[in-house]
Amino acid sequence: MSRMLCDKPLIGRSVTASQVCFTCKGRKKKCDKKMPQCGYCEQKDIDCCYDYGGESDLYQPVMGISDSTLQYSSRKDLQATAWETDHSYHQSSKILTQAIPITSLLDPVTLGATLSLEVMRIIQASHQSTNGIGTRYFKGIHLWVPFFCPNRFQKDVVQFQTVPTAEFSLLLLCICLITYDPPQHQPPPVGRDALYLQAKTLFTHIQVLRRPSNQLIQAGIFISMYEYAHGRPDSALASIDIYARMAHKAGLHQKPERPGWSDGWNTWWAIRIFERIFYCETTLTDLPLITSAPEEMDLLPHEVGEGACEESSKSSGQVAPVSLGGVGCLGRAAQAAYLLDQVIQTRRRTAATNQISSLIVLDSELQRLLFTTMNSCHGKRSGHCGAVGISIRALFILHKHILRLDTTSVDSQWRKHSQAALDTVTQMVVDIARSHRRIHNADVDIIAPSCSYVVRHALQYLYEKRYADSNAWFLDSDTLRESLNKVNGRWPVEPGLSSDY
């Protein structure tokens, strides 16, 4: 009898799914599991999907790698191990490229939960975890311009597990993008270009649906850093200008009324710094800078450390004078950006006859800042690399500009001074490039992406001016090329694109 009942057609019987639908899972609401469309999705007239995988814990590290292992083991070895597992590369790529229903992204009620599931799928498809990408970021590229608070990030990760938001989901995806470095000896499970396009697309969705927020703007900064690192300064400058306007609308540009931690003020300073870094390498030099020029009396951004930023952060004081002691890594980068801005504006606005005196003063300030910053490093790798790179780039611009001025406007002693300054700065870059030999490939993220640009300018200068000692010239140029190859191995130029050099 039971067999006969089972053989009967299911006419008039209710058919339900074995798990809740994608939309209701994102809403964290009860789902009636009706097939082919649940009651909620039918009422809202949206696509209903039950085929999204099992109830795996999306917030746990993937591949069985614990977060403690990620913190103390070689990043390259761990990633190589992950790539050698039985996971299907094609399946991972499919997970990344599967589009979620547009109606789910347009629903402001479910946007946060829906996007969090999508982002966690992408992170898993790249064989990474939330804590893993955080560890890699703060031990590596964060040292370039350390504006992002690690303690705040950890708190937000914990909160994200219970109250996911669209903005923090995107921020996680962008950190995943900028830390993603698959082994080069085999095909990656996710292509860099696919990951980048996902981040840009989701950013646009959220930008349309939500007001500008600090986390959304920080996510945008990471996207522009990625573009710059991969040899696209024009794209990076265009992107950072959009985020600058968003930050202005959100009020992040307003100077703090009193001392104390201000996440928005740090973000605004990061935009100012990166806009000027990108501007130096762009072909769009006729365009004005979007962010306001830093002023001497501006409060410097707050330094971030291992503890709670609100409790342990200290204000570095004002931008000027640059010789002031007690200024941290981010503050020094802000001071370098201030001097770089002065170089750019002086070169633009001042008549040639009046430029020299102003530029020589700036040269003295830049050298003083560079000396103070490098002494603070004491030969150790730290977040000062941003200030060092900006200062060196500013000195290249300043003295090359003096040498290009009409000889009738420039006294011969200043031309000799600029030539000697370029010789000294180039030798500094050679010394920095030589120090890169001690950095293993697993730790290459501690080399700032700006090093690629600075090294190229030093190489160009060497090609223009040969040493009397040809052996020394070849040794120095080989050292620079070796460093450039190491950095380009981490940040390859996208296919079909060429560097601006």
Is 254 contained in some domain? yes
14 & 89 share domain: no
170 & 286 share domain: yes
91 & 40 share domain: no
The domain boundary, picked from 292, 325, 355, lies at 292
Residues present in the chain in total: 501
Quote the CA–CA distance of 431 and 10 in Å, as a whole number.
Answer: 78
Is 314 contained in some domain? no
The domain boundary, picked from 44, 61, 78, lies at 44
Phi, psi of 318 (to 5 degrees): -100, 165
Q: Please report the pLDDT score of residue 102 as a whole number.
A: 52
- Residue 107's CB: how many other CB atoms inside 10 A? 18
36 & 146 share domain: no
On the question of a cis peptide bond just before residue 321, with omega within 30 degrees of 0, the verdict is yes
Quote the CA–CA distance of 100 and 23 in Å, as a whole number.
Answer: 10
Is 89 contained in some domain? yes
Quote the CA–CA distance of 315 and 328 in Å, as a whole number.
Answer: 9
Nearest one of 225, 168, 223 to 196, comparing CA atoms: 223
Q: Please report the pLDDT score of residue 369 as a whole number.
A: 92
125 & 218 share domain: yes
Q: Please report the pLDDT score of residue 310 as a whole number.
A: 54
Q: Please report the pLDDT score of residue 64 as a whole number.
A: 31
The domain boundary, picked from 240, 267, 292, lies at 292
9 & 118 share domain: no
184 & 264 share domain: yes
209 & 147 share domain: yes
Is 55 contained in some domain? no
Q: Please report the pLDDT score of residue 106 as a whole number.
A: 61
- Residue 18's CB: how many other CB atoms inside 10 A? 7
83 & 37 share domain: no
102 & 186 share domain: yes
Is 364 contained in some domain? no
Is 224 contained in some domain? yes
3-state secondary structure of 302: strand
Q: What is the pLDDT along the chain (501 residues), one digit of tens a residue?
A: 333 333 333 334 446 777 887 777 766 678 888 877 888 878 876 767 765 433 333 333 333 333 333 333 344 443 443 344 334 344 444 555 554 555 556 666 778 888 898 899 899 888 888 889 999 999 999 999 999 999 899 999 999 888 899 999 999 999 999 999 988 777 888 888 889 999 999 999 899 888 999 999 999 999 999 999 999 999 999 999 999 999 999 999 988 776 667 889 999 999 999 999 999 999 887 888 999 999 888 888 988 875 556 545 555 588 888 877 788 889 999 999 999 999 999 888 766 667 888 899 999 999 999 988 887 765 455 556 889 999 999 999 999 998 888 766 677 888 899 999 999 999 999 999 999 999 888 889 999 999 999 999 999 999 988 888 889 999 999 999 999 999 999 998 765 444 433
Is 426 contained in some domain? no
Is 120 contained in some domain? yes
Q: Which domain holds residue 200?
A: 70-292
Start-to-end C-alpha separation, the chain: 81
| Domain tally, the chain | 2
Using CB atoms within 10 A of its CB, is residue 476 exposed (0-12), middle (13-18) or buried (19+)?
Answer: buried
8 & 140 share domain: no
39 & 95 share domain: no
